[in-house]
Amino acid sequence: MADSWTGGGRLVRLYGRRDRVLAPVWVLVLTAMCGASAVATADLYAGTSELADAAHLINQSPALVALYGPILDEHSLGEIAMSKTTVMYAMFVMLMTLVLVRRHTRAEEESGRFELLGATAVDRVTPTVAATAYAAGVVAVLGVLSAVADVAGGLPVRGSLLFGASWLGIGLVGVGIAVVACQLSASTRTCGALGLAAVATFYLVRAAGDVGPGWLSWLSPLGWGTRLRAWGDPRWWVLLLYPVTAAALVGLGWALHRRRDLGSGLVAARPGPAVAAPSLRGAASLGLRLQRTALVGWTVGTVVLGAVFGSIAPTLGDFFKSDAARAALRAFGGRGAVEDALLAALLHIAAYVVTAYGLSVVAAAGSEERDGRAAVVLATGSTRRSVFGATAGLVALGSVWLLLTTGLGMAIGFGLQTGDVADGVGRLLPAVAAYVPAVLLTGALGLAGFAWSARWAAAGWGLLFLFLTLGELGELLHLPDWAIGLSPFQHVPALPGGTVHAAPLVALSVLATTVGFGAWLRYRSRDID
């Protein structure tokens, strides 16, 4: 152990230096979500009877229970307030650890920088051990801050501390999953996909357990947060499950790393074709080829996400008879008070997710250029027009395609509950179409960052984060309307159900086209890295 840690402290400082923006932003957003949830719910329910009614109704809806987990104590303000954060945002904590660990281990190994560090006075596994410690440290900070945010939001201290501890625990389990996943394949992307699949599986197992056989939920770390009963009569021993699981996973990951060669995975890399398929012949087909796996994954993911979202809405038939129920619906992100409004609210969330795809394409184009591959492509007969066009086309067509698959997924989920899929399609296709201009504008802004300089290719992520914050937390933070209105997503009609005004949609479309064209003008005449 002492050997594995030699030089580890310096590596942890290096990781912190490299993540000086990424890690704090992620931690602060998740902390803000905790605080916002606490404040929002405390404001919403005046008396305990309304609270109990709302909690009871949530428990009556299998779809909501599947999404957010059950509310075990229907009289607990804390439990209602934090039900989203206990399960759903806990998953985001795990995703954060996956990003952090992968970034400093497998990604560095694939790029060859790991070797540079590995040749200094450190052990072969030290970078992985240091990444584990570093990610655990970030999670510990998050655990403390989330507890503080809960207390600040008006929740009881003991419950808040337990909640923070559960986030620390789920984060540690996330670190363990990430460390193991990063040993499995030589490909950074495959490792990420494996980690993501593990988290998704835990989420689904928990969902199945929460609506069906309860013991299943004990098998998923994402189910433990609810069963800890942080806000009522706590089961302290549940807190032990996290570190035990995390230690087992981390130990497994370190052992796997110790046994394997640098740059290799547990799963041997398959050889590739000796000659290229005839279809691989230009910038566009290259872009499509590089995105192929990701697009398939996103397509499946959006259909499943859509189907889950779509199937929630109709189960709320009895949900709207009391004021408390309407209030509860609003607490879960609703804008109105009918099932259409719930569909619209869920679609709004899905639109942010789809936007992330386009931005990931832009970010990948930035890496292509910074790593020198764009120069190699541009040194052939490929024009700048075709290289830029390939990226812009993938952003635009990919986003539209994924909006469509999201809409179809929702229509199917909705239709299977109501027995009328055609009705679902009729409601949702216009609704997803309305999001096209806003999603494309955000994508075009990301593209403009890339066009300005390859180093700014990831700037779109910051914008998406800004839009998300403005839209979802703007009112809570008492921001002025004009500031909230900076997010294009605020100008999309709340369909199905809402009224459509053409002007904002036309304005967004014109803006998206203008920004996209401006990006092209810049890219056409700038130096290539």
Residues contributing to the site for other proteins (CB under 8 A): 110, 186-189, 263, 269, 271-277, 280-283, 286, 289-290, 371-373, 375-384, 525-528
How many other CB atoms are there within 10 angstroms of residue 15's CB atom?
A: 25
Pick the closer one to other proteins by CB: 234 or 389.
389
> Measured from the CB of residue 298, what is the shortest distance to other proteins in angstroms?
17
Q: Which residue has the tokens 């499946």?
A: 300
Q: Is the Cβ of residue 50 or residue 529 nearer to other proteins in the bound state?
A: 529
- Residue 60 or 382: the one with the smaller Cβ distance to other proteins is 382
Neighbours of 248 (CB within 10 A): 13
Looking at beta carbons only, is 10 or 189 nearer to other proteins?
189
The distance of closest approach from Cβ of residue 272 to other proteins in the complex, given in angstroms and rounded to an integer, is 3
Burial of 144 (0-12, 13-18, 19+ CB in 10 A): middle
Smaller CB separation from other proteins, 421 or 528 = 528
- CB nearer to other proteins: pick between 59 and 367: 367
Q: What is the dihedral of CA 225, 231, 234, 239, to 10 degrees?
A: 30
Q: What is the DSSP string of 332-375?
A: TT-SSSSHHHHHHHHHHHHHHHHHHHHHHHHHHHHHHHHTTHHH
Crossing angle of helices 339-370 and 384-418, rounded to 10°: 150
Report the nearest approach of other proteins to the CB of residue 368 (Å): 8
For the CB of residue 260, give the shortest distance to other proteins in the complex, in Å: 14
Least distance from other proteins to the Cβ atom of residue 287, Å: 11
Minimum gap (Å) between residue 275 Cβ and other proteins: 5
- Residue 269: DSSP 8-state: P
Three-class secondary structure of residue 8 per DSSP: helix
Reported for 234-238, long-range contacts at CB under 8 A and 24+ positions apart, including other chains, are 234/158, 234/159, 234/162
Q: How far is the CB of 381 from other proteins (least distance, A)?
A: 4
Give 158 or 526: the residue with its C-beta nearer to other proteins. Answer: 526
- Please provide the DSSP assignment of 87-153 as one string: IIIHHHHHHHHHHHHHHHTHHHHHHTHHHHHHTSSS-TTHHHHHHHHHHHHHHHHHHHHHHHHHHHT
